Structure 1
Amino acid sequence: MDWRGVVADGVRAYGLSDAQRLELLALGRLDREPALLQMRLPLLLAGLACLLCGLGLIFAIAANWSGLARATQFGLLQAALGLGVLGVIVRPSLCLPLGLWSLLAIGGLLAFFGQTYQTGADTWQLFALWAGLALPLVLGLRSDVLWAGWSLVVMTAIALWVAAHAGHRWRAEADDVVVHLLGWLAALGVALALHGDWGRRAGCGVWARRTAACLAAGLVTATALAALFGREPTVQALLALLALGAAAWALARPDGFDLFNLSAVALGLNVVLVGGLARLLFNGPSGGAPFGRFLLLGLAAAGLLAATVGGVLRLARRPGSREGDDL
């Protein structure tokens, strides 16, 4: 709620003076910036600056740095990583932005090797190596932001591993079911590790856990869509429904309720169910005009989404439910 707007409305309604308005603002501590904002804003701006600098470094590698020699490129990347790690040691108060810079610099250095020397490794191996090399840094700094970035790298490595072992194609054929199940189990293992007691002791916060859970749900949902819209529907679509349903059941329980992750999983369920209906309507032996089928699909999707939102809200308002990942 905009309390400043409430005070302004009250001033106009009751004809209060400027002195009374200022007194009201002071009573509500609205006459100054919030103390939490004053404490965190400089650190957040520094983190954003290091994020942009690290991404700029990676984008520069992607541009091949054609005007510089290989030794110069390698030296600059090594210097960037070394300065970031040294800065973390010398200035612990800036561990968040400098740690994020170091995490991105590791990726840039690996991208340089992969692009320059053509090691023959698949892309997923570079991301896996990136995650492995960055793990001591993330464990040492115990930052939610770094854990969120690390989980993004790990989940990318898992998704690329699945694609590499499915014939380097984003497909979901019947022969690839074991590969997809292993990828799902790996993604679920990462998400559960960050959600468990180990993750909390290691410094994982709410955003790291949410990032891992949402990416895992996204991987399962994407596989189900690929299974539905291939040449022939495959068993991965049914397995994805079962996996997402089990995750929704676990997240809806009062002792493990998580509104954010439950919403993400419920959205995945909606996407898979609507995708299955679309496959049935437009690829099956259904009759009728295409307009009618589109209308039916839209109404079914809207009704399913409304029912899902209503159910999630009822669970959130249920006595005994608590948001375990609340800020």
Structure 2
Amino acid sequence: MSLHEQLYQWTARQGLDASSARRLRDLSGLDDPPVDPWTWLRRGTGALAAGLIGFGVILWIAANWGEVSRLMRFALIEALFVASLAGAALRAAWRAPLGLLAFLTLGGLLAFYGQTYQTGADPWQLFAVWALLGLPIAWAARSDLMWTPWTMVVATAIGLWIQTFADHGWRIDARTLPVHAIGIAAYALLCVAMALRPGATPRSWAWRAAVLSAVVAMSAIGLGGLFARHVEGQFWLALAAIAAGLALNWRRAEVFALSAFALAFDTLIVCGVGRVVLEVMRFDLGGLFLMGLVACGVLAASVSLIMRRMRAVGVGA
């Protein structure tokens, strides 16, 4: 049965008036123009071409690395960087893929500089400088093709910063609580920046990459605090941050962010119950049954609330 026939049957079955029937037809998207496949094909081809060109240049340089002087090595990388920027500035249709090529080349240039002169900088500083210098490129490109890798570089810089200042490891105790608090705040700020940037949409890949990075980092910090020798403040901090993210995204009604934060919240809750069961019931049959009930309950509640919210805003209605 076609969508057209289903709409007529639903309209007749529910007794909808003319205005409600038109509203239902608009929501179905039946009269929307077909999606232009060439737009996505051009973007995908551009991204693939930029990646293959960059990869080919890297392989060519690696094959001839021993025969090229240090000055020539810098000249080759810088020439590719300048050429990519010039092409992105002159040709709007190729701005995003050439901007991506320039951004990746910039990272290679910074890494080569650090290896050549042994600056002694921490890894997080390399990624931080890379993100800072690459911000104008991403801002000028104004494309998810640029913002998504930029977001991943920033998220990596934050994670490496936390590792560096947490005694060069993932130590979780009272002494590293301020470090983890700053790190969680930085991830939250990254999510806000990707949500408020010019041209951002709730379904942009850069926004989703920021949310996914934040959720994974907060969950890892929270689980580390939960399963320490004694429950550390990081667990409660991560739980509060994830709950805040869930509440803030409730209004946006974006299913990806809601699902990610809800899954992280449920995981911490279930693992918290598991910690109690481990200490009190020693994982006997009753404890395992309690954990199963809690896991099923929080998961069912989360799915039900998210679906209700999506229906309330007209998504999947």
Is TM more than 0.5 here? yes
Give the letter aligned to residue 81 of structure 2: L
For structure 2, the 5+ residue unaligned runs are: 7-29
**Cα 1:238–1:150 shift into 2, 3 Å:** same
Kindly report which structure 2 residues correspond to 1:5-16, keeping only aligned pairs within 5 A, or say none: none
SS state of the match for residue 161, structure 1?
A: helix
Q: Which residue does the alignment assign to 2:300?
A: 306
Q: Which residue does the alignment assign to 1:286?
A: 281
Per the TM alignment, residue 64 of structure 1 is displaced from its structure 2 partner at its CA by: 12
CA deviations 1:276-316 (Å, max 9, x no partner) are: 2232333x142354x76556534532332222112111111
Maintained 8 Å contact 1:138/1:147:
yes
2:310 to 296, 302, 316: 316
Structure 1 Cα separation of the partners of residues 283 and 257 of structure 2:
38
CA deviations 1:200-251 (Å, max 9, x no partner) are: 2xx3342222222232222211110111122322011011111111221121
Per the TM alignment, residue 105 of structure 1 is displaced from its structure 2 partner at its CA by: 1.0
Per the TM alignment, residue 131 of structure 1 is displaced from its structure 2 partner at its CA by: 0.6
CA deviations 1:34-87 (Å, max 9, x no partner) are: 661023302212213323554676799999956755444323322221221122
Moved more, 44-53 or 185-194: 44-53
**Cα 1:233–1:97 shift into 2, 3 Å:** same
Kindly report which structure 2 residues correspond to 1:192-211, keeping only aligned pairs within 5 A, or say none: 192-196=192-196, 199-200=197-198, 203-205=199-201, 206-211=204-209
2:270 to 274, 290, 305: 274
CA deviations 1:5-37 (Å, max 9, x no partner) are: x9xxxxxxxxxxxxxxxxxxxxx99xxxx6610
Q: Which residue does the alignment assign to 2:238?
A: 240
Give the letter aligned to residue 307 of structure 1: A
| Identical columns (%) | 39
Q: Which residue does the alignment assign to 1:109?
A: 109
SS state of the match for residue 317, structure 1?
A: helix
Kindly report which structure 2 residues correspond to 1:108-147, keeping only aligned pairs within 5 A, or say none: 108-147=108-147
Maintained 8 Å contact 1:58/1:107:
no
Q: Which has the higher contact order (CA 8 A, sep 6+)?
A: 1
Maintained 8 Å contact 1:57/1:105:
no
Structure 2 Cα separation of the partners of residues 59 and 297 of structure 1:
52
For structure 1, the 5+ residue unaligned runs are: 7-27
Kindly report which structure 2 residues correspond to 1:136-285, keeping only aligned pairs within 5 A, or say none: 136-196=136-196, 199-200=197-198, 203-205=199-201, 206-253=204-251, 256-282=252-278, 284-285=279-280
Structure 2 Cα separation of the partners of residues 97 and 49 of structure 1:
8
Structure 2 Cα separation of the partners of residues 70 and 296 of structure 1:
64
When the two chains are superposed, the root-mean-square deviation of aligned CA atoms in Å is: 3.2
Structure 2 Cα separation of the partners of residues 62 and 274 of structure 1:
49
Maintained 8 Å contact 1:61/1:112:
no
Structure 2 Cα separation of the partners of residues 121 and 242 of structure 1:
33
**Cα 1:61–1:222 shift into 2, 3 Å:** farther
Maintained 8 Å contact 1:163/1:170:
yes
Per the TM alignment, residue 97 of structure 1 is displaced from its structure 2 partner at its CA by: 0.9
SS state of the match for residue 267, structure 1?
A: helix
